[in-house]
Amino acid sequence: MTTPLRNQRTLAAPCSVSGFGYWSGRDVTVELRPAGPSTGIAFVRTDLEPARRIPATVRQRIEQPRRTTLAAGGAQVEMVEHILAALFGLGIDNCEVRASASEMPGLDGSCQPLVEAIQAAGIVEQPAPRARLIVTDVTRVGNDDCWVEARPTKSNSLSLKYRLDYGNESPIGRQTIELTVTPQSFASELSAARTFILQEEADWLKSRGLGTRVTNKDLLVFDDTGPIDNEPRFENECVRHKALDLVGDLALAGCDLVGQIIAHKSGHRLNAELVRMLLVEGRLEEGLRRTA
């Protein structure tokens, strides 16, 4: 029996967060505003004249290393995955994200501050059905070393399984997480997981003038013995953050997803490639309004 589509949701009131971009070091304020039914998630660059609107869809994604970047109308927004993860994870479908710079704030390396701001603002239902894409076949992208795939499921939910493998010699090692994505599980299990990087990677980026404002307190920087000047929030915090990023990239589908997503060392590029394939191969349901 087909489960009726749920109603769309938006914020009950505006909320905002401020910080600086990890790559650029620029200060930025982001305001999340309620938006009308079926308008989706869109970023607005308020620092440009005129302001530029960039829809949060996989069609707008452009390739940049280690982050998700969207572009439209000659403007772009970078590091959007944490904002998209917070919105998608909490089940918010329509929102205008107004940003005062191109790069979103890194905050504490996680999206927990965003989740807390959204929860404080409140969430309301809207009188329109939320489209749902159902995975009907096994769809896989990547190679033998790094891949992500979607599988059909008998449940009416989205579940994730992510395997991270840095090898036995790395302090990160091998980590796995598996969960069904709900607003409750996202807030408690994924939202607080922080960005991580190896010390040699961080040193390489700073030598090229990137990330110079970021300290070991802003994210997890690993040397040979573990995090430097920081303590993990979870034993497997790194894989939890990779799952958080995956949720943010799946948000680019612009609809609910029903299926099981399994990832092995996947990153933003492969995650987006999977979304593109699912939009072609999955079954999209748009017209079943919730009757309860």
Check if the beta carbon of residue 40 is closer than 8 Å to that of residue 56.
Answer: yes
pLDDT at position 286, please?
A: 87
Tens digit of pLDDT for each residue in 95-137? 999 999 999 999 999 999 999 999 999 999 999 999 999 999 9
Segment 257-276 mean pLDDT: 97
pLDDT at position 1, please?
A: 52
Q: Please write down the HEC assignment for all residues of the chain.
A: CCCCCCEEEEECCCEEEEEECCCCCCEEEEEEEECCCCCCEEEEECCCCCCEEEECCHHHEEEECCEEEEEECCEEEECCHHHHHHHHHCCCCEEEEEECCCECCCCCCCCHHHHHHHHHHCEEEEEEECCEEECCCCEEEECCCCEEEEECCCCCCEEEEEEEECCCCCCCCEEEEEEECCHHHHHHHHCCCCCEEEHHHHHHHHHCCCCCCCCCCCCEEEECCEECCCCCCCCCHHHHHHHHHHHHHHHHHCCEEEEEEEEECCCHHHHHHHHHHHHHHCEEECCCCCCC
Segment 155-159 mean pLDDT: 94
Q: CA dihedral defined by 95, 115, 5, 278, rounded to 10 degrees? A: 80
The pLDDT mean for the chain works out to 94
Query: Percent of the chain, pLDDT > 90?
Result: 87
268 as an active site residue: the answer is yes
pLDDT at position 292, please?
A: 32
Q: Which of 82, 241, 264, 268 is catalytic?
A: 268
Segment 44-63 mean pLDDT: 97
Tens digit of pLDDT for each residue in 205-217? 898 888 889 999 9
Asked if the model's pLDDT at residue 290 lies above 60, the reply is: no
Asked if the model's pLDDT at residue 71 lies above 60, the reply is: yes
Query: Percent of the chain, pLDDT > 70?
Result: 98
> Bigger pLDDT: 248 or 216?
248
pTM of the model: 0.94
